[in-house]
Amino acid sequence: MEQFGLHNPSNGLADIGLGNASRVNYNLSEVELYEEAIRRGEADLTIDGALRARTGQHTGRSPKDKFVVRDAGTEDKIWWDNNKPMSPEHFAVLKADMLAHASGKTLFVQDLIGGADEANALPTRVVTELAWHALFIRNLLIRPKRDTLEGFEQKLTIINLPSFKADPARHGCRSETVIACDLENGLVLIGGTSYAGENKKSVFTVLNYLLPAKGVMPMHCSANVGSEGDTAVFFGLSGTGKTTLSADPTRTLIGDDEHGWGENGVFNFEGGCYAKAIKLSAEAEPEIYAATRRFGTVLENVVLDDNRVPDFDDNSLTENTRSAYPLHFIPNASETGLAPHPKTIIMLTADAFGVMPPIARLSPEQAMYHFLSGYTAKVAGTEKGVTEPEATFSTCFGAPFMPRHPAEYGNLLKDLIAKHGVDCWLVNTGWTGGAYGTGRRMPIKATRALLAAALNGSLKDAEFRTDANFGFAVPVAVDGVETSILDPRSTWSDGQAYDNQAAKLVSMFIKSFEKFEDHVDSKVRDAAPGLKIAAE
């Protein structure tokens, strides 16, 4: 086996059973990975110098193909209602078959870190057969200093072989695609998909398992901080605006997707951004647009014209086009990935029913209720088979990545909010004037103006009304924002149709929360929307 690149000589791939690879490339630089990806026909160079790759059949995550090894260590820690079990025996066979499949192949290894807080960092080794995957994860995770690589010891190993096809009968999985997580032994096996997002979300899943036991709250969120140290956290599922809204030129970006909140404050899990690129424009998102059109960035499933110019409006491959770049490509990004305790929490939802206001103030109990509910819409393309938004409840704003019971995360969050006196707001980036298909998307200028008022504290001085359906406080008027948009019922041409739609959503909330009622106190249960309406 030929070995190239800087690495720990006593920590090679032979130690995990990959000694029969023909060549292993350790910790190659961006330039070297570009050369390999292009030479091997994996990717194309764009006119701007970015690297464009296509993922074929899988253009989004495959949550139905994700499994957790069920053993003595995980039996009582995992929320099995939401996580599919795999037996240790099936995992062992899968591992053996994947290691055999890698025999004779060229492999790419990146030794990286998940977590900017040293006390909670997860050294991670990613092994893949695709050079562009190595560049992707190099962009997304935190790069250790090169002079530490010769002593690198990982606590998590990810082996990703897209050309491997799983056998459901033999491996205890659902299809030829598999993401299998052995959380107790720090090993994730990925096969049958080239979608690069599986790499980063596997690291997230493992951190979400490990950190609560240390009293650290893992969060599917973006985060930024103002000049006064006023940190803001933005919860939300893919496509709800986490990346867009946290990229604010007046504030320092901590990160766009995954963070922890511990005794020292907030810390980024990652060292890069994975931004949605569909309809990306210099006018609406200048920082992200600039980061996307430069050397070092990986474009995933973005269509190129004959001159290799990216067409961000072309969704012929998928709605879920992506741009993966290191955090330092954003001019006002944090160099440390660390920030003080949050002053403000924003819970983002893309309301496909079009009945929620653009912003609402939440009490601590309402905040926990909406965190556990995790209402939003699955936005087109972020998961395989989703082609238009549909209403969904994804607890903790990230159910696919949360191995433990939601109440563990919810109680951690509630305690931290109370301890640090955090202001909480619900922000709807979805539809207004009607449901998806008849209404329009909430204007981003209005959302930004409302966020600015929430973050600078001026919104707390506004006049508020109590929403008849959801019980939270909604501002009546805000400078720079069209007043009618603050009252969603007034934006509908048919008020009765709005009332019917709102009642439908309220009933969905109540039904969705039933499974959590025994895990929360009465104050949180009483924060449910439309209790009076439901009682009538």
Residue of 58, 242, 341, 361 marked catalytic: 242
240 is in an annotated binding site: yes
61 is in an annotated binding site: yes
Q: Is 493 a catalytic residue?
A: no
Is 141 in a helix, a strand, or coil?
Answer: coil
- Cβ atoms 29, 352 nearer than 8 A: no
- Cβ atoms 528, 516 nearer than 8 A: no
If phi > 0 it is left, if psi is from -120 to 50 it is alpha, else beta; for residue 301 that is left
Residue of 61, 66, 370, 414 marked catalytic: 61
d(CA 74, CA 84): 12
Q: What angle do CA 210, 213, 215 make, to 5 degrees?
A: 115
Residue of 238, 292, 376, 382 marked catalytic: 238
Residue of 95, 138, 220, 343 marked catalytic: 220
Q: Cβ–Cβ contacts within 10 Å for residue 140, how many?
A: 29
245 is in an annotated binding site: no
220 is in an annotated binding site: yes
Q: Is 445 a catalytic residue?
A: no
d(CA 121, CA 119): 6
CA-nearest of 34, 55, 44 to 320 is 55
d(CA 485, CA 431): 11
Q: Is 322 a catalytic residue?
A: yes
Q: Cβ–Cβ contacts within 10 Å for residue 213, how many?
A: 10
236 is in an annotated binding site: yes
Phi, psi for residue 330 in degrees, rounded to 5? -90, 125
The first and second tokens of residue 229, run together, are: 């140290």
Is 493 in a helix, a strand, or coil?
Answer: coil
201 is in an annotated binding site: yes
Q: Indicate the burial class of 487 (C-beta count within 10 angstroms; 0-12, 13-18, 19 or more).
A: middle
Q: What is the largest CA-CA distance in the chain?
A: 73
Q: In this structure, which amino acid lies at residue 125?
A: R
Q: Which helix (H) or strand (E) holds 202?
A: helix 197-210
Each residue of 231-259: b (16+ CB within 10 Å) or e?
bbbbbbbbbbbbbbbbbbeebbbbbbbbb
Residue of 65, 248, 257, 423 marked catalytic: 257
Going from the C-alpha of 219 to that of each of 222, 369, 423, 523, the distances in angstroms are 9, 16, 17, 23
d(CA 396, CA 69): 22
Is 393 in a helix, a strand, or coil?
Answer: strand
448 is in an annotated binding site: no
Residue of 55, 62, 243, 373 marked catalytic: 243
Each residue of 379-406: b (16+ CB within 10 Å) or e?
bbbbbbebeebebbebbbbbbbbbbbbb
Residue of 251, 322, 361, 384 marked catalytic: 322
DSSP state of 383: B
Q: Is 494 a catalytic residue?
A: no
Residue of 133, 201, 343, 489 marked catalytic: 201
Q: Is 257 a catalytic residue?
A: yes
Q: Is 293 a catalytic residue?
A: no
d(CA 323, CA 281): 13
Q: Is 458 a catalytic residue?
A: no
238 is in an annotated binding site: yes
447 is in an annotated binding site: yes
Q: Is 155 a catalytic residue?
A: no
The radius of gyration computed from the CA coordinates of the chain, to the nearest angstrom, equals: 23
Residues marked as binding?
Answer: 61, 195, 201, 220, 236-244, 257, 285, 322, 447
Residues marked as binding for ATP?
Answer: 201, 220, 236-244, 285, 322, 447
Residues marked as binding for Mn(2+)?
Answer: 201, 220, 257
Known catalytic residues are: 61, 201, 220, 238, 242-243, 257, 322
Residues marked as binding for substrate?
Answer: 61, 195, 201, 322
